[in-house]
Amino acid sequence: MPQIELEYFAQLSEATGLRSEIRNTPALTAAALYDELREQYGFALPPGRMRVAVNAAFRPWEQELFEGDHVVFIPPVTGG
Amino acid sequence: MTRFLMTNSTIDAVALRRELLRAEAGGFCSFEGWVRQTNGGRQVTGIDYDAYVPLAVTEAQAVLNEALTRFDVTNVVAAHCCGYLQVGEIAVWIGVAAPHRAAAFSACRYVIDEIKKRVPIWKREHYVDGNVGWVACHDSE
């Protein structure tokens, strides 16, 4: 199972109580990893309202995950 | 030439404006986003800004570069704060210099709209009653 580094922001940081996490996951894609985390932490936000970044770049949900990837799930942004 | 700055300290609008000065520019316009005392009918005392900084910087920089390509402007500079701000403080600053005003206004509008849509920054509001809450999404222009 690949080891993934997760970083949490905003509502997700609050829901997990974590700022970051190293996780061994069977998830093959970003979408599958989000489902896994939602199951564990009860994230309220559905993936349709989120975006995902892998290694500090926006990526599609079908993005394949590899050992050492840095993954951030991005709630609706509210800056400005 | 464009530049985006993410900062934990107070935005220095005078210094940012100075970066825009060019002999070929006929003027500049700026937009400042301030922390407002109410949101959705609730009294706000301040806002914590959280940001995924590496991506916020590259995405905002991309927005500025788009503005430079799409509009006839000479320079675009923007800054956004991280951390806690009180009511009245500057959260975001955008400045656009151009040979003529129409492009400066259009580009400035483009940059603030795109930053609000795309850049991974989040507001956590602090209310007078002691509660705090993440702003769910932008609910108005």
Residue B41 has pLDDT above 70, yes or no: yes
Strand order in the sheet with B2-7: B2-7, B75-81, B90-98, B27-34
Q: Is there a domain that residue B22 lies in?
A: yes
Average pLDDT over residues B8-23: 96
Query: pLDDT tens, position by position, for chain A (80 residues)?
Result: 899 999 999 999 999 999 999 999 999 999 999 999 999 999 999 999 999 999 999 999 999 999 999 999 999 999 99
Q: Is there a domain that residue B140 lies in?
A: no
Six-digit token string for A3? 């080891």
CB of A74 less than 8 A from some CB of B: yes
Report the interhelical angle of B53-70 vs B101-118 (nearest 10°): 150
CB of A75 less than 8 A from some CB of B: yes
Closest residue in A to B93 (Cα) is A80
β A3-7/A70-74 pair status? parallel
Check if the beta carbon of residue B1 is closer than 8 Å to that of residue B20: no
Q: Is there a domain that residue B139 lies in?
A: no
Structural domain range at position B52 = 2-134
Average pLDDT over residues B105-117: 98
Q: Name the pLDDT band for B139 (thresholds 50, 70, 90).
A: low
**Could you say which of B58, B91, B120 has the minimum Cβ distance to residue A77?**
B120
Six-digit token string for B111? 């940059």
CATH topology classification for A3-74: Ubiquitin-like (UB roll) (3.10.20)
**Could you say which of B52, B92, B134 has the minimum Cβ distance to residue A74?**
B52
pLDDT for position B2? 79
SS3 content of chain A, % helix, strand, coil (to 5): 30, 30, 40
